[in-house]
Amino acid sequence: MSKPINPLAIGSFTVGAVALVIVALFMFGGGQFFKSDKVYFVVFFDSSLNGLNIGAPVKMQGVQIGEVTDIALQFDKTSIKIYKPVVVAIDRSRVIGSSGRAITDEERLALRDRLVKAGFRARLETQSLLTGLLYVDVDKHTNKPPVFAKLEYKGIPEFPGILTTSDEILHSAEEFLNQLRALPLEQIVTDFADNLREMKDLLASDELKQSQVSLAHAMEGMEKAVGTLNRNLEPMLKSTHTAIDNTNLLVQDSRSMVQDIKPILASANNALTAATAALNKAQDSVSMVGDTFGPESALIETLESVNDASRSIKILADYLERHPESLISGKHN
């Protein structure tokens, strides 16, 4: 006959097992199962999540600040699009505010807004090329505008995400190919072939050959003209220098003649003055004997001629005084 089971022993064993589980949770979980020490954000990625697992690290500029806690698929009935929400848990103790203490739940939205305004975006990066595992990297990408899916997922605030580097390259290549497909390639090739054909015909035409011959003749003539100019240039320069020297000598001679003619002009001026005085006296005498000699007598005509000559000599002297160079070059009108 078997012994009866002692309920007290069973209860003690159960309580002991529960206590061991609690102690293990405290030891290996650091009390996180009993105390919420994380803030949560959801990121809607357009990139493939192949290689991203729950528990994958979340890093900010190389420092691990949390981990991935949830990955799902969400279908949007409006846009008929499938979204991939990824929930990240940020360890409060890893993100410290300006006050030196960990952020609170009330501060997480303000922190999110400040990070987004500063240019921080979430992007998937490769942990190892061998394993292909991914992690979530939060870093500055100021050239990428923030894009929000504006969807609700378990009431968790959204953090903007961007494409991976490889997806950006593929996306750019796809856009380039689409633009290339939109081009009328057949027409472009046809036009290019026609242009080549016209160019070939032009190169083989008689007009082009004749133009080449004419150009060669023109170049030859120009070369000869330049040679002739080079040969004649030196004598022309010498002649020019000689003419300049002669002109300088002529100017010097003119200056000497002007200096020499000044006394002559002074003497002529004095003689004219004396002649004028004599004529005046003669006119007075003529007027006194006007009754004896008529107005058309030879003496009156002689005196008038002498007066005109005296006036002309005076005018000439004045002109030479103002323009002595006229002795060489003549009078200019």
Cβ contact 242:309 at 8 Å: no
Rounded Cα gap, residues 58 and 78, in angstroms? 31
User: Which H/E stretch holds residue 1?
Assistant: none
Which span out of 106-110, 303-307, 317-321 was modeled with the highest average pLDDT?
Answer: 106-110
Rounded Cα gap, residues 110 and 96, in angstroms? 13
The band of 1, judged by pLDDT with boundaries at 50, 70 and 90, is very low
Rounded Cα gap, residues 157 and 211, in angstroms? 78
- Per-residue pLDDT, averaged over 113-137, amounts to 90
Give yes or no for residue 58 having a pLDDT over 50. Answer: yes
Cβ contact 115:109 at 8 Å: no
The band of 13, judged by pLDDT with boundaries at 50, 70 and 90, is low
The band of 44, judged by pLDDT with boundaries at 50, 70 and 90, is very high
pLDDT score at 329: 60
Taken as a whole, the chain contains a residue count of: 333
Tell me the pLDDT tens digit for each residue of 227-283: 777 777 777 777 787 878 777 777 676 666 666 666 766 676 676 677 667 666 766
Percent of the chain with pLDDT over 70: 66
pTM over 0.85: no
Percent of the chain with pLDDT over 90: 17
Provide the 3-class DSSP secondary structure of residue 37. coil
Give yes or no for residue 33 having a pLDDT over 50. Answer: no
Cβ contact 39:138 at 8 Å: no
Count of C-beta atoms within a 10 Å radius of residue 111:
16
pLDDT score at 298: 61
pLDDT score at 34: 43
Give yes or no for residue 48 having a pLDDT over 70. Answer: yes
Tell me the pLDDT tens digit for each residue of 71-122: 999 988 887 888 899 999 988 877 776 666 666 666 777 878 888 898 899 9
pLDDT score at 15: 61
Q: What does pLDDT average to over the chain? A: 76
pLDDT score at 99: 66
- Cα distances from 194 to residues 187, 189, 198, 226, in angstroms, run 10, 9, 6, 43
Lowest average pLDDT, out of 115-124, 206-215, 302-311, goes to 302-311
Tell me the pLDDT tens digit for each residue of 161-174: 988 878 778 877 87
**């380039």: which residue's tokens?**
176
- Cα distances from 242 to residues 122, 231, 234, 329, in angstroms, run 89, 18, 12, 20
pLDDT score at 321: 66
Which span out of 110-114, 304-308, 329-333 was modeled with the highest average pLDDT?
Answer: 110-114
Count of C-beta atoms within a 10 Å radius of residue 164:
19
